[in-house]
Structure 1
Amino acid sequence: MLVGYARVSTQDQNPALQLDALKAAGCENVFVEKASGAQRDRPELSAALGSLRAGDSLVVWKLDRLARSLKQLIETVELLESRSIGLLSLTEAIDTTTAGGKLIFHVFGALAEFERSIIRERTKAGLDAARARGKKGGRPPSLAAKDIAAAKAMLSDPDITMEEVARRLHVAPSTLYRHIPGGRGAIRETEPC
């Protein structure tokens, strides 16, 4: 059985072109989604996938109607393949139920992995270059050394709690505990006798 899936990005767009092509291809059921491709939660796609059985094929007008990124497309095709369901893309003339269609998807998968590797390499090179220039990555510390010293001084008073000190320094108590492990007890242990 052929099940069609059509998607338009906004409520204003008309899926008529896709619907005509899917009907002409022989789709018995067609699911229509009006949602951005970047949206992960697409109920009509879920319904289409739920209606498919082993040996069926999902038909789309173009591959970009099914997924926004190559990674998302590969994940969807792998899901279909694991359930013995084919994918047909009318515009690109790809049919994963054939050997040639499977080959094309393996090439797509290899290209996606290559792209991810290049992005990782570029990111690592950029971070290394920034470190070499003396840049330090990450979020700046929420408490400076003088703030920690002030917190320790306040905590030397047994009437002041960690929560009160945190409130005065405008941080969460967990931040204070991270900078003063052991809390008040740690301060007493380190105080001179």
Structure 2
Amino acid sequence: MKIGYVRVSTQEQSTLRQEVMMQELGVDEIYMDRASGKNTDRPELKRMMEYVRQGDTVIVESISRFARNTRDLLELVERLGEKHVEFVSKKEAIDTTTPTSKFMLTVFGAVAELEREYILQRQREGIALARARGKYRGRKPIECPELERIASRWRAGEISAREAMRRLNMSPSTFYRRVKEI
């Protein structure tokens, strides 16, 4: 079977271009994630990796749609290889049936990882510049009128920290940071 894997980074991005390509290639089944490629913790990727069988071919539009770092890419392709499943990336014209393609896969994987690092670097630089200009202040803190009352009950030992967090609907890190601020 031809198995297609489609990924976009956010809910707002369109998968249409990748889906059309898969249709044109006669893909039998498509797995689609709307999640960052920074790691392999993606539900549809996991489902696809469980589903594929010997003789199948996994097709992606480009390596960056499959993995954003070289280690993850090589591990995923290795797992496919162990199942005797081919991997094809259309953009880079790579399939894993030849030694040359396996080498090129490593090179393109490193390029995809470098691209992700550049994106993150530009993002950090943009935020720093916006902060310096007073345009970026981060996320506004969540208003919590009950915080002082519940925190004082917690400090007095009337309720546990876990109960205070539950009542305030806060994670432990948020709870302790906010309690320290008051």
Q: TM-score, normalised by structure 2?
A: 0.56
Write out aligned runs for 1:142-161 (5 A). Answer: none
User: Percent identity between the aligned chains?
Assistant: 38
In structure 1, the residue corresponding to 2:73 is in which secondary structure? helix
Aligned positions of 1:1-40 closer than 5 A: 1-40=1-40
- Residue type matched to 2:64 in 1? D
Give distance in 2, aligned partners of 1:68 and 1:106.
12
Residues 25 and 10 (structure 1), Cα distance of their counterparts in 2 relative to 1, 3 Å cut? same
Residues 1:87 and 2:84 aligned together: no
Residue aligning to 2:58: 58
Q: Any gaps of 5 or more consecutive residues in structure 1? A: 116-193
Aligned length: 112
Q: Which digits, 9 at most, give the CA deviation of each residue in 1:61-113, with x for residues without a partner?
A: 0000110111111111111111111100011110112444234346668x79x
Q: CA deviation at 1:48?
A: 1.3
The residue identity in structure 1 corresponding to 2:97 is T
Map residues 62-141 of structure 1 onto 2, 5 A cutoff. Answer: 62-105=62-105
| Other structure's SS at 1:47 match | helix
Q: Which has the higher contact order (CA 8 A, sep 6+)?
A: 2
What SS does the corresponding residue of 2:88 show, helix, strand or coil? strand
Give 3-state SS (helix, strand or coil) of 2:31's partner: strand
* SS of equivalent to 1:7: strand
Q: Specify the structure having the higher radius of gyration (Cα).
A: 1
TM-score normalised by length of structure 1: 0.53
- Mean CA deviation greater in 65-74 or 34-43: 34-43
Residue 184 (structure 1) aligns with: none
Does the CA contact (< 8 Å) of 2:86 and 2:95 recur in 1?
yes
2:58 and 2:99 map into 1 onto residues whose CA distance is: 17
1:44 matched residue in structure 2: 44
What do residues 40-79 of structure 1 show as CA deviations (whole Å, max 9, x unaligned)? 3211011111221011111000000110111111111111
